[in-house]
Chains A and B, each alone.
Chain A
Amino acid sequence: MMAATFKCQPTGLHGSGIDAAAPRSSGNFGRFYSMRFACNTRCNTLRHVHTPLSISHDSSTESSLILIRHGESLWNEKNLFTGCCDVPLTQRGVEEAIEAGKRISFIPVDMIFTSALIRAQMTAMLAMTQHLQKKIPIIIHNENEEATTWTRVYSEKTTKQSIPVITAWELNERMYGELQGLNKQETAERYGKEKVHEWRRSFDIPPPKGESLEMCSKRAVSYFKDFIEPQLKSGKHVMVAAHGNSLRSIMMYLDRLTSQEVTTLELSTGVPLLYIYKEGKYMSRGSPVGPTEAGVYAYTQSLAVYRQQLDEMSP
């Protein structure tokens, strides 16, 4: 599949396994992207989703991708390294999630992906309570056959009114190994300030028993490409609720950033980011303003029409 291998950008992504796409100005770009997806049969197997997956190669398909980083957690508040410890949101984090929900209340959502951690799941569920469309998120369970049987829905109509929510450990925060649960002071004392700084800010140096940002990117971006991108390609609108490191790994892929650029990329908490996926390209559209804020910001014509329909629906 040689044609699908893209040249890396000058500074390169060292051994990260991430395909850096050809520069935007290349006229062949769109075609290469579609070809790669068509060849990748793994895209078609999405075990956990009940809704039918229709891969369409219609180049006019456009879908929205919302990324939300969860808000303040109880360990953020206490300044402890969290990583993959499953710590919930503070009251402030709850408010941030609801606020984020208001900002995306008029952007269509067909599927939601979250990490396996409660703070990201809560963020997604809290945000969706603000959503104007009538569909209801339902968390898909596939841990074992029993779970799948027990959570089955027996009404076609209800299924159509549902938004599947898929939880994936691959979207978890970067695993911080032996730093998990330590405060910044303890850690500096135990390992020395420079070492800690290196772990936090480098691309490929993991803390003891932990992941480097590079390792986190590998599993997050693979998951994105295998399971999320096909949904976008088929025209589904997707929301991803996750964490600082897993999301910036994905943005590294969407925006084709270098490892240098990604280590300095900071994602605001609770502020949703919108991308439009169209013809194999991701266009960053910044952060949606809330529906009541002055100025109509119509990202694309189809989103404007969708919003119009929602406005007409509500009392």
Chain B
Amino acid sequence: MAAEVYYQAIGTVQSHSHLNNLNRHQKHQNNIVRLVARDFISGNGLSRRSTNRSGRRNCTVIRSLASQTSVVDPVLSPSRSNAGDSNKKSNEAALILIRHGESLWNEKNLFTGCVDVPLSKKGIDEAIEAGKRISSIPVDVIFTSALIRAQMTAMLAMTQHRRGKVPIMLHNESERARSWSQVFSEDTKKQSIPVIAAWQLNERMYGELQGLNKQETADRYGKEQVHEWRRSYDIPPPNGESLEMCAQRAVAYFRDQIEPQLLSGKNVMISAHGNSLRSIIMYLDKLTSQEVISLELSTGIPMLYIFKEGRYIRRGSPTRPSEAGVYAYTKRLALYKQKLDDMFQ
């Protein structure tokens, strides 16, 4: 089976199996934007866990061989002419990716995967530092994984944000969780940033290596085997995921739930993990599986993309507001920063 991810050029994305479970309201893809946006504050339908995860995801995409620089023309974009939306029509949105910093098992050199280990002191500092770097970039919605280290990273980073909106984690585990976390003030909702936790953004699941240290693992399985699991694209460790499997669920989630937000002009922040983020970057930058294997994401350094007219423009890592030189990524972001500066004068 091809080890490469095919990108959507022009064509239909057929997403089967679990994706339909995620958003039962979804009939046509051009309804996504409207429904996802509306579902926001009431917290319906997002980040619901798939019940049949074991099934293979069948994300068939048609690759355009004709053009290397083909524009991703999302079929999701009929929304551009879609009236009746409560969202502002903006053809540009910021996308921030943050990989969490050091966890307590990183410190001990243990394979972590999906084990829910929190940040170390250093990881906390990294998160706050990352927050300073993005303190002037607008954030309307936050997506994190289901693991505390990514959630803490997002929440710590946002303590530094200058805009003053308040992140609120949405709860959908049960009817009770939904009704108990309801907000009853319109004003307050307007000043809130929904935070959606999704297991699909979790770190790659490392199966039977989880909790082992590098030595134990080499002893148990042999050095070459371990190296192969860590560095290949499609070979999973026992009872674990390959990078390919991780990419499948992460990118599918990105396209189903996150991309529509960007399309509707919402500025998004994603706080996640090495493998889930590089899977997404593979999609954004149209990398091959070879390229993605050797892609290393720094921890705690936020990466900025501008989503505009269906394209993702990579803008590197924002510098801190106090650092010399004004780095205005786009005119819109420069204006936003100006407004914040005025607020704080």
Contacts and interface: CB of A to CB of B under 8 A. Distances in A.
A94 B159 contact: yes
A75 B257 CA distance: 27
A23 B31 CA distance: 65
A167 B159 CA distance: 23
A135 B4 CA distance: 41
Centre residue among A83, A121, A150 by max chain B CB count within 10 A = A150
A122 B155 CA distance: 9
Contacts of B177: 116, 169
A88 to B, nearest CB: 4
Nearest to A175: B180
Interface of A: 74-75, 78, 80, 83-91, 94, 116-118, 121-122, 125-126, 128-129, 136-141, 143-144, 146-147, 150-155, 158-159, 165, 169, 172, 175, 177-183, 186
Contact of B188 (A129, A159, A182): A182
13 contacts: A80-B185, A94-B124, A94-B156, A118-B151, A121-B148, A122-B155, A125-B152, A129-B118, A141-B116, A150-B205, A151-B115, A169-B177, A186-B185
A125 B118 contact: yes
Contacts, number: 138
A153 B210 contact: yes
Contacts of B183: 85, 180-181
Nearest to B107: A136
B168 interface: yes
B224 interface: no
A292 B221 CA distance: 46
A75 B166 contact: yes
A169 B176 contact: yes
Contact of B181 (A84, A146, A178): A84
Contact of B184 (A139, A140, A159, A178): A178
A26 B14 CA distance: 72
Contacts of A80: 185, 188
B104 interface: yes
Contacts of A129: 104, 118-121, 124
B49 A143 contact: yes
B105 interface: yes
B173 interface: yes
A286 B277 CA distance: 45
Given A125-B118, A125-B119, A169-B176, A87 B209 contact: no
B113 to A, nearest CB: 8
Nearest to A153: B211
A150 B54 CA distance: 12
Contact of B159 (A90, A117, A137, A141): A90
A139 B116 contact: yes
